[in-house]
Chain A
Amino acid sequence: MREIYADNNATTKVDEAVFDEMRPYFCELYGNPSSMHFFGGQVQKKVDEARNRTAALLGAQPEEIVFTACGTESDNAAIRSALEIFPERRHIITTRVEHPAVLTVCRNLAKRGYRVTELSVDGEGRLDLAELRTVIDADTAIVSVMFANNETGVVFPVEEIGAIVKEKGALFHTDAVQAVGKIPLNMADSTIDMLALSGHKLHAPKGTGALYLRKGVPFRPFMVGGHQERSRRAGTENTAGIIALGKACELAGRNLEIENTRVRDLRDRLEREIMSRIGNVQVNGGKAERLPNTVSVAFEFVEGEAILMLLSEKGICASSGSACTSGSLEPSHVLRAMGVPFTCAHGSIRFSLSRFTTDEDIDAIIRELPPIIERLRELSPFGREFLATAH
């Protein structure tokens, strides 16, 4: 069965050009970049090139890029470093809708005596910067706020947040895993001190990531050992992965416009057609500024896992904010923080597109989805009663 892949916020296809770029660095050019011979040296040159390419996508300088193993590592490293730099500051600010890569770190730190403030969001998933201004103080070591939400695609005003953080002398970190490659970035003119990105969300392989670290911002490494990455991240480099990430960043820069035109048009069409063909639906965060590739739709009175399984039978890959898919019993913390009613939260489905998504993919989703929702509503003891009163 051919897959109709609409789950790009979970992971993406490795671009063929990216794979071609990394392929020689396994069996042929396998040298260690730290070695004092030509064989390692030629790999070092490619790693340098990858660093330049990654920096270029962010509008940063090459020495501000630290390669890591994933977005989660970058997030962990940033937060822990800030706390070591400001040992006297015991306050962390984040949001209720962060990815677990940040939220779990903060909640674990709360158990160890740190004061953690989780900023709330409104019904559209937007932050209230007045709340940030109220809670930030001289005790705040780090503010970690995601650039764009993985579930709803809602984009946060990170530059404004960074400006507020600067006034208090704290550090500002952003988990930009979903934003890089979709939103133009220019670190040269930014209030962001640290930024996490992940390779496999932008058509590089899994197990690659980077931390942007502003020049002059002190840093205490998470992983210590050798002098790799200027002693900011020890461990022999994942050379093939780094080279792949560099290539993926170069391509992402070139395709930024496509993401914001063609991909956005596809997403808009999908959203429009779902809204017009199916009743009792709402777009989560629909009124907020959003990533161009993401739509989270809530179908009332049906359960997300059942929708996903039936979509999967038709080859369609999406994801859900429902409890049942994750093994937890509560629907997504993001939708709950937004106050999405339970009737909707359990039946929320996220479609996330990429530059590889085609018109035919969207046609297929639009064709297959309405009968699936109808069928599950027929099965549901609630669907009919509620729908009857709604019409």
Chain B
Amino acid sequence: MTSGRIKRIALPHLVGLAFFLIWEVAVQFYEVPQFLLPAPSRILEALADNFASLMSALWVTLRITVLAFALAVVGGVALAVVFSQSRTVETALFPFAVILQVTPVVAIAPLVLIWVGFDNVNLALLILAWIVAFFPILSNTTLGLRSVDHHLMELFTLYGASRWQRLWSLQLPASLPHILGGMKISGGLALIGAVVAEFVAGSGSGTGLAWRIIEAGNRLQVPTMFAALLLLSALGIAIFFSLSVLEHIVLSRWHESAIDREK
């Protein structure tokens, strides 16, 4: 491991550690009431005390996020492929995908909840998280499929490649960097979508982390709020990290962004 790499990993950790230490000391020293700002030690305590219920809430949020993300990847790539095959379909449908994207999910949430029904809240959450996560995949994949080197496209034409061969052997592999970039954005958005949707779904209906934050807030259990928040951050980091690892595994052999060149 090079010194540069050690620095890159150690430095942010040290800054984080220093931040929490100062927080801990400051809260203790100034005797800040815990319903305003609990000390990190108190937050960890709350996490330990409510471990089982927080974990089950984490599981609910994780499940919705991952499912919404997976469906966004499948749907986004599939629709982009359809767009790449027909400019007419793309021209006809793309504006509606944009409308779906630019309309704030908070504003659509109540409608979706009514349509799906309050006894199916998890389905509503899934739909809302999917709406947010879907667009980056669609737009990045569309861009990727369109950015294929035109000489390579001509080469496939020369050899009489079918649409399917062209898609499978050229356009999709060439779009992988774009698709994976879209996935990194979309993974984080799926989590945000799931949390926002749960906030909107409101009292008594949610069982995920967002609902735990509202519930603990109502009871002024601020350390528990922070504990749930901590888990949400950890979940977001885990999603981003997994997708970065995936990107590195897929692209490291050939793509300019991931090739380790001698400096």
Partners in one complex: no
